[in-house]
Structure 1
Amino acid sequence: MTREQEVERPVGREREISTGNRIASGSDDLKIKIWDWERRKQVVSFPTGHRENVFQSKFVSGDLLIASCSRDGQVMLAQLCPAGSLRSTSRLAQHRGPAHKMCLIQEQGCIFLYIKFPILLSAGEDGQVISIDIREENSDKIVLLKNDKGRKIPLYSIHNNPVNRNQFCTAGRDPYIRIFDRRYIGNAKQGEMAKFCPTELRTTKVNVNEGAVGVILIGMYVDENTNYKSRFRGHRNSATVKGVNYYGGRSEYVISGSDCGNVFFWDKETEGIVNIFHGDDNGVVNVLESHPTLPVLATSGLDEEVKVWLPTLSMNDSEEKKILKKKKDYMLRTISRNLVE
């Protein structure tokens, strides 16, 4: 397919619940590939309609609708046939600058009877947050962030509160993380509930995504004079926008990629590094997504592969001691090198 096609907007159908059996990956080749990761099999590969690097792809509804955002500022929707082939693509929204991240806000409803289609939020370097209902023809520009001098603040990240569908947060090229409530978007502060900035960034010109303070954990209800609750360090972050995520059945671990090509695991309570492993041959890991129910992790970076990680099998004592010794040495070398660089 060489040009954008119109897609029939899905209306009045139940939303399929994702089982985690498939992975969608976008790339600089402007394509999205869908994988059955358990069988190590590519299901389909299709052109997205984007004109520049694809930064993120997300399953919107079951396994048949995939949204993507790109350096070209477009937010696209691809619709697959039940057999797996591409049916059509359409443009959902357009930013005036690169669009790095999206998040899904699940509308409330009975999980066993009917689940409404989610709202898609996208953030771009034009300082805009756009709200998209894929059943509607038009999208809504709900936030435009500007600094004290009236200049737009480029946004690199957006995420929703999984237990409150009205709340989402953004981060970008200024030191603040901002928390918004969609119910109050029309007020003078654009629905901004709170903003937060680590103490050491308040007098510097470093943006939140550059990782000067490492990965930080804050509470939901803070003001700009409150410092972070926890900080996780040891990795490096300056080359690209890094993904940070929780891992574990109780979200007991914090995980992030690094410019050293490794994946870092921290204990959420102690802030200690519990594991490091090499995840990218070209030196940067910037996307990490865990399975919705299983202890399985997918990562990607600057090389041409999406990697899926599984827990290792148990070993005898002597083998385990050798591996742990090797792992400890690798962790110490990696952390020391990152601290120096």
Structure 2
Amino acid sequence: MAASLHHRSSFLIARSAFPALPSASNTEYRRKACLALAYSKALDRVNVLGGNGDEGHTGCVNALAWARDGEFLISGGDDTTVRLWKLDTCHSTSEYPFTSRCVIHTGHTANIFSAQMLPHSWKIATAAGDNEVRVFDVRSALSTTTSFDREVSLSARQSCLRVIRCHSDRVKRVITEESQDAFLTVSEDGTVRQHDLRTPHNCSGSSPCADPLVDLGLELCTLSLSPLTPYQFVVAGDGPYAYLFDRRHSRRTLEARWGSIPGAGQDLTTCVRKFGRTNDAPPREPFRRDHVTAVRMASSNSHEVLVSFSGDAVYLFSTTDDPEIEESMSRKSSASDLHAKVNSLTAKTDINASKVTESHENVVSYDEEEDEEDDDEDAKEDTIQPDVPLVKPRMRFKGARNVATIKDVNFLGPNDEWVTSGSDDGNFFIWNKSSGALHGIYEGDSSVVNMVEGHPTLPLIAVSGIDYTVKLFAPARLPSRFSKMDDADSIIETNQIMRRTRVVSLGSLRAMLGDSAIQVAPGVDIENIRVGVPDCTNQ
């Protein structure tokens, strides 16, 4: 009897020392553990999609998204087509044999910046530089009854369900929600809009566009929400901050309480936090204004936010962090205090600009008049959502160069253990989220990497940029051929130097040569002068 009690006591002690697995099934727990372990290893390129004549894009690839739990990879770009790639193990013995199964000729007249498949459906929403959002139905081409022996080509006439023209400027991102009919878009017209395909709408006078969820009054280019808190989203663009909005805090006015309809442009959500850098962040270059290129909310938790600043680095924030007390206390609602704050900020900006000029006078020259205009714009930007508390970052991930194009930022791993971003040097970087340490540098493009998307269930990463192809990376079984970690120090040093250099596109060079007396030497082909980045980076 005593022995039996002793064994039972030992069992209870052991059980308390090794708690039970999480509520998810043991199989799911092991899958996530294996996936996390796989991402901790070095990666290598396992496939290149496209570049084979008929099967592939003929322009830069700006949009990447995994669909239907990773069964399909969606890509879109400057050639105004959308392609759907499917893992085809029946016709290939390679490890990751993705092939193009459908190409949609969208009818867009400008670059496609974003393409997403709406959940629980075969609908694909696209956003482009022609100010339009289009929705396509690809069920006929990708249903399980269709043969996958050949690529199916769909025209806009065959597949387009809706053309949405609510935005007045280029549309940069489509963000899906847990719905096959509702989704969000963000545009350079400064608005975030929600669209519902169940509601008839033709953007005309007989069916006017609904008020936007957000109208910030500055160019916006990026938007993200967490699937765990879909009522919150982060938006950013041409300014020094990213803004957290909450749809549970709808604005109320006296007119609304008395039954009046809210005026056009009135926000239907409330900005509850701003995310900005610390005072010890690298100084802004004289010729470059503060700009956020990408934001990303974590999918494994409801509070972490990545913000990528142009010309700087990637920063990690949390929506649960307390804002700075002095920041919130300094924000007054009176017009006089706000005006004084603007004047103070303008003066400080002028002083900082002069200091930066002295410290970088040998790096690049710039137009003083243009810089004064930027200072005025900075003061104006600081008046946007002035009463909203400012949250400071938890971590900074540095090394990549984000100057030439609008680069995305992302989490990797089943629990978002890693942070990744493309770079102007043709590489993509991976950092450990907890420590901020650089984990890997990989060659992903011949020029610039813009998009990095991790597969939802496999240790597989899709990468795209200026090249007309999509590269796939997975854990390496042999020494990685595309790892650049051996040259990490020189790559980071070069990126640091190039970050301070003004990037001139080929189109800008043509304009400068056309407007000046500069003569090009006979026999010199302007198309082959590598001044900055190709024209297709017009993002």
**TM-score normalized by the length of structure 1:** 0.82
Q: Does 1:88 align with 2:153?
A: no
Match for residue 333 of structure 2? none
2:172 is matched with which residue? 100
2:491 corresponding residue in structure 1: 334
Paired residues of 2:126 and 2:134 also in contact (CA < 8 A): yes
For the pair shown, the structure with the greater C-alpha radius of gyration is: 2
2:421 match: 256
Larger fraction in strand? 1
**8 Å Cα contact 1:22-1:63 kept in structure 2:** no
Q: Which runs of 5+ in 1 are unaligned?
A: 1-16, 107-115, 147-151
Q: Give the secondary structure class of the aligned counterpart of 1:199.
A: coil
Q: How does 1:237-276 map to 2 (within 5 A)?
A: 237-276=402-441
> Structure 2 counterpart of 1:193, which letter?
V
Contact 1:128 1:141 in 2 (8 A): no
User: For the Cα contact (< 8 Å) 2:274–2:391, is it kept in 1?
Assistant: no
The worse-fitting range, judged by mean Cα deviation, of 169-178 and 82-91 is 82-91
Q: Does the 8 A contact of 1:127 with 1:145 survive in 2? A: yes
* Counterparts of 2:468 and 2:290, CA distance in 1: 30
The number of residues matched between the two structures is 303
Query: Can you give the 5+ residue segments of structure 2 that lack an aligned partner in the other structure?
Result: 1-66, 88-95, 143-151, 202-208, 254-266, 294-308, 324-388, 499-539
After superposition, residues 18-167 of structure 1 pair within 5 angstroms as: 18-37=68-87, 38-62=96-120, 64-84=122-142, 85=152, 86=154, 87-89=158-160, 90-106=162-178, 116-117=179-180, 119-138=182-201, 140-146=210-216, 152-167=217-232
2:276 corresponds to 1:197: yes
Give CA deviations for 1:165-211 in whole Å, capped at 9, x if unaligned. 10101011011111111223444764111112213479964122343
Report how far residue 288 of structure 1 moved.
Answer: 1.3
Structure with more relative contact order (C-alpha pairs < 8 Å, separation 6 or more): 2
70-79 or 37-46, which moves further after superposition?
37-46
Give the superposition deviation at 1:91.
Answer: 1.1
Structure 2 counterpart of 1:216, one-letter code: Y
Match of 1:295 among 440, 447, 459: 459
String of CA shifts for 1:1-54, please: whole Å, max 9, x gaps: xxxxxxxxxxxxxxxx81312111111111111111443311011211211000
- What is the SS of the residue equivalent to 1:310? strand
Q: Match for 1:164: what amino acid? A: T
Question: What secondary structure does 1:94 align onto?
Answer: coil
Letter in 1 for 2:493: S
Deviation at residue 93 of structure 1 after TM alignment: 4.3
Aligned to 2:303: none
CA RMSD of aligned residues (A): 2.5
- 1:298 partner SS: strand
Counterpart for residue 206 of structure 1: 290
Q: Does the 8 A contact of 1:93 with 1:130 survive in 2? A: no
Letter in 1 for 2:131: G
> How many angstroms apart in 2 are the aligned matches of 1:156 and 1:221?
24
Q: Give the partner amino acid of 2:249.
A: Y
For residues 20 and 94 of structure 1, the distance between their equivalents in structure 2, rounded to whole angstroms, comes to 31
Give TM-score, length-normalised by structure 2.
0.53
